[in-house]
Amino acid sequence: MQQGDQAFLRDDLRGRWPEMTYGGALSFLRRRYSRDLAGVDVVVSGVPFDASVTNRPGCRFGPAAIRAASTQLAELKAFPFGFDPFETLAVTDWGDCMIDPHHPQTVAPTIEAHADAILASGARMLTLGGDHSISYPLLKAHAKRHGPIALVQFDAHCDTWEDDGVRMDHGTMFARAAAEGVIDVARSTQVGLRTFNDHDHGFEILTAPWLHRNGIDAALEVVRERAGDAPVYLSFDIDGLDPAFAPGTGTPVAGGLASWQALEFVRGLKGMNLVGMDLVEVSPPYDHAEITAIAAATVAHDWLCLLAQGKGAQPHAVGRL
């Protein structure tokens, strides 16, 4: 049996073999680095861009930190699913989208073209950011393929503040996407918000206090009823978690969700028409213990497990779940 460095030694996309948790090439969940998309179900790629932040920078280092934090999750069968998602799901790590921060006007078109090329293969995308502005070009690419998107946004902020249609800003891009019809706001939900905006732009907003009072099951009921069978894109800003569970982010806001609540929420999206996901705003310089990156890697891992279930992977429960 081959051992170690699956990121570049594997010939096939399925399954996995033994690795040192603390060593080896750090692809996401030890998936093979490749840009050959033949037979690929999901492409993981990073977008290390953070020039649109309004407070603390550093999430350009997010993709690398999330990959490093994913190593433990590659050791055992997935919890609580009880299966190896990669026996069912063919996943590759594309690496990082090459962007030129010195020509900021090229950044969004570059990300959109990157997504266009991957989606043209028929694969889904799991994108590791980077700041939240990267969601706009990603959504544009997904809408070209699927039509208007039902956005499920997990976040402390609405990201629908006033937009001039030109600015690169991680707090305005969903207002622009809604105005352009990229997002179907009538089917979209914002989850975990705890900052104020005078306008809801048509989104259903489930604030963090509402979630604390009513619970995750009630939130999932709203999200499911609203999205129906529409194509669902999950945009997961790590600052949706309380800073106690995600200190490594640029705009932390007290009063957020615990990591267990976020994981229960993501796992509860099972069976929806999940077409893509991004996970953004992980800023490692503000978290010496990797708490934030571990939470982020686990959320992304569990989203992949939902896709594996959709392809027929059968959960095997042990203990009371």
Mean pLDDT of 46-51: 96
Average pLDDT score, the chain: 94
pLDDT tens figures, 98-157? 999 999 999 999 999 999 999 999 999 999 999 999 999 999 999 999 999 999 999 999
- Among residues 282, 228, 221, 274, the alpha carbon closest in space to that of 251 is found at 282
User: Within 10 A of 73 (CB to CB), how many other CB atoms are there?
Assistant: 20
- On the question of pLDDT at 237 being above 70, the answer is yes
212 is in an annotated binding site: no
Is 155 annotated to bind a ligand? Reply is yes
Residue 237 is assigned to a ligand binding site:
yes
The proportion of the chain whose per-residue pLDDT surpasses 70, expressed as a percent, equals 99
Q: How far is CA 154 from CA 204, 263, 278, 315, in A?
A: 12, 11, 10, 25
Q: Any binding-site annotation on 184?
A: no
Report all structural domains of the chain as residue ranges with CATH numbers, in order of start: 6-144+233-310 (3.40.800.10)
The pLDDT-based confidence of 317 (bands split at 50, 70, 90) is confident
Q: How far apart are CA 48 and CA 114, in angstroms?
A: 13
12 in a known ligand binding site: no
More confident residue, 13 or 118: 118
Say whether the peptide bond before residue 80 is cis (omega within 30 degrees of 0).
Answer: yes
Count CB-CB contacts under 10 A for residue 67.
24
